[in-house]
Amino acid sequence: MGNNKLSQIIFKDVVYYLINNESSFSNILNIALISKSTFKNVQNIIVNQKIDNKDPIYFNLSEFLLYLINSMTNSNEYDKVLIQYKSIKVLYTKIKYFPMDGEYLDIKGPLCEFCPKLQSVVFLRAFYSYENPLPLDGPYFNEEEQPEDNKLFKYKKISILYDEETGLPCSSEQENNYSIGYSFSFLSCYDPLKLSISLTPNKKNKIINNFSGIFKNGGKSLGSIEFKKNHPTPYKFLEQSLKTNKQNIKSLKLRYNNISFINIKDEDNSDDEDEDEDEEDEDENEHEDEIEKEIVNSNDQYLKELASVYDYNKLIEFSVKISNLPQSNKTLEKLLFRKCLDDDDSNDGDNIKINNNNDKPSLLINQLVCNSTLKTLGLEFYDITTSLELSQLSQIPNITTLYCNINSVKYFFQHCFDNPNIKKLIVTNEEIINEVDPDVYKSFSDFFKSNTTLYTIIIKLNNNEISNNIKKLFFESNNQSHLNFLNK
């Protein structure tokens, strides 16, 4: 019988992946205490992290600061502490929600005092609000841009989660209302690599309909913009993205509604109605009636603004409009179209019509034929009904990765047979589903048995049972030695 114990060399590599999945300091410490050699290994991993780590070990910032304070009380036993803070050069951290009362604004001094060799604090993600700003190297919103190499704080990803309670994406006190647009000039101060935009579930705010300031003030490093689950994307946003002179935008993840706005009053008619009602309202409830009319008229105007930038009926018109833009863009590598997941269907229900069928993607795909840089295309927004709708993708050989929703997977499989350029397929479903049509399972089974060109398939569903059923079909097939199957 052979020795089943892991060798020290193999275990040394395994340790990195064990602690990489743990952001809690106590959990990392428990792993480090397995043995003296493991403890030393974890010490070295943390101290020797580089600024360009793709999968770094990160700590909760509050926990790290508390750790420093506690360690200073036992400075005589420095060699025995897990984090060798006097030698650490790069610290990776996340702020998982809004910092309150500027709690992190003054951390530069203590960090540099405790960690004399510290060169960079990298925020993998941090939430921004004007009321509770994030730490910067100098005064808030520096007038003079500091050289990148001299900045202690670096931001991989800034998240905007806005409403009236958590705060708005303001850059100044003047922008702290709904009467004017937002410049997004705060982005140039933080200079993030990625930006995500989302609404809080209660959505008591009005949706922002103009994001053009992002391209003007997004900072020189901004390369990825994502609209999260419940935030629709204005149709003009893609046009602005493709036309922008910023050379770093490589990834766009956009959201669209399949809704149309209906029963919205005409402005002129509503004004006439207001005048008539003003003349008739002479009783004791006149003031209350006026307040109610103001709310109704304001809501109608708001819906008109939404309809002008978010109405589903503009999708075909928009697809044609961008015809000459994709070929002029030379930087975009990833473009995803996803459905907007509404957290509250009750809002403005009398003014919204749900469209049963999504627009076909062929018009959009046709506009991308001349693009030479796009590598990944996500068509999850579309409910595909035939593989012919995807046929034009064969004319874009640089596209090698596709995203699709699980209800359309049959036709994407058929397209993969016809288009050998496609090497990776990501099958998703962000909505919670309890079951899928039996034909979906059959499509997976047939594909696993006959695929010869696809190298990777990734399943990302909100149902473990369905994911595991698909995984079982994969392992039951005997023809997939070359196919990499990932279940996330």
Q: Are 281 and 290 within 8 A, CB to CB?
A: yes
**Has residue 278 been placed in a domain?**
no
198 forms beta bridges with 161
Selected residue with higher pLDDT from 454 and 102: 454
Query: pTM for this one?
Result: 0.80
For the four alpha carbons of 387, 390, 391 and 393, in that order, the dihedral sign comes to: negative
**Has residue 92 been placed in a domain?**
yes
**Looking at 125, 144, 160, which one is the last position of a domain?**
125
**Has residue 234 been placed in a domain?**
yes
What is the predicted pLDDT for the residue at 118? Answer: 94
Same domain, 121 and 186: no
What is the predicted pLDDT for the residue at 328? Answer: 61
Answer yes or no: is pLDDT of 149 > 90.
no
Same domain, 327 and 213: yes
The number of helices, as runs of H, and strands, as runs of E, in the chain is 15, 16
Average pLDDT for residues 237-265, to the nearest whole number?
71
What is the predicted pLDDT for the residue at 263? Answer: 45
Instruction: Output DSSP code: residue 249.
Output: -
Instruction: Output DSSP code: residue 266.
Output: P
Average pLDDT for residues 173-187, to the nearest whole number?
76
Same domain, 101 and 187: no
Answer yes or no: is pLDDT of 5 > 70.
no
pLDDT-based confidence at residue 60 (cuts at 50, 70, 90): confident
Same domain, 198 and 320: yes
Average pLDDT for residues 158-164, to the nearest whole number?
82
Q: Are 16 and 45 within 8 A, CB to CB?
A: yes
pLDDT-based confidence at residue 406 (cuts at 50, 70, 90): very high
What is the predicted pLDDT for the residue at 201? Answer: 66
CB atoms within 10 A of CB 430: 14
**Has residue 50 been placed in a domain?**
yes
CATH at residue 199: 3.80.10.10
Give 392-405 pLDDT, tens digit per residue. 999 999 999 999 99
Segments forming the whole domain that contains residue 41: 22-125
Q: Percent of the chain at pLDDT above 70?
A: 70
pLDDT-based confidence at residue 143 (cuts at 50, 70, 90): very low
Selected residue with higher pLDDT from 390 and 235: 390
Same domain, 363 and 234: yes
Same domain, 65 and 200: no
Same domain, 257 and 325: yes
Answer yes or no: is pLDDT of 151 > 90.
no
Give 334-365 pLDDT, tens digit per residue. 999 998 876 554 444 444 444 444 567 887 78
pLDDT-based confidence at residue 418 (cuts at 50, 70, 90): very high
Average pLDDT for residues 160-167, to the nearest whole number?
75
Answer yes or no: is pLDDT of 163 > 80.
no
Mean pLDDT of the chain: 77
Same domain, 211 and 114: no
* Range in 237-241, 294-298, 440-444 with the lowest mean pLDDT: 294-298
Answer yes or no: is pLDDT of 61 > 90.
no
Average pLDDT for residues 114-131, to the nearest whole number?
89
Same domain, 184 and 50: no
pLDDT-based confidence at residue 55 (cuts at 50, 70, 90): confident
Q: Percent of the chain at pLDDT above 90?
A: 29
Q: How many residues does the chain have?
A: 488
Q: Are 16 and 56 within 8 A, CB to CB?
A: no
**Has residue 283 been placed in a domain?**
no
What is the predicted pLDDT for the residue at 354? Answer: 45
Selected residue with higher pLDDT from 190 and 230: 190
Answer yes or no: is pLDDT of 368 > 70.
yes
Same domain, 200 and 118: no
**Has residue 407 been placed in a domain?**
no
E strands present in 35-81: 59-60
Same domain, 120 and 206: no
Same domain, 334 and 214: yes
What is the predicted pLDDT for the residue at 431? Answer: 81
Answer yes or no: is pLDDT of 3 > 70.
no
Average pLDDT for residues 238-259, to the nearest whole number?
77
Domain count, the chain: 2
**Has residue 58 been placed in a domain?**
yes
Distance (Å, whole) CA 161 – CA 353:
27
Which structure tokens are listed for 479?
Answer: 């023809």
**Looking at 399, 433, 467, which one is the last position of a domain?**
399
Cα separations (Å) of 163 from 128, 170, 231, 430?
12, 11, 12, 23
What is the predicted pLDDT for the residue at 348? Answer: 46
Answer yes or no: is pLDDT of 180 > 80.
no
Q: Are 110 and 65 within 8 A, CB to CB?
A: yes
Selected residue with higher pLDDT from 264 and 233: 233
pLDDT-based confidence at residue 216 (cuts at 50, 70, 90): confident
Q: Are 198 and 157 within 8 A, CB to CB?
A: no
**Has residue 449 been placed in a domain?**
no
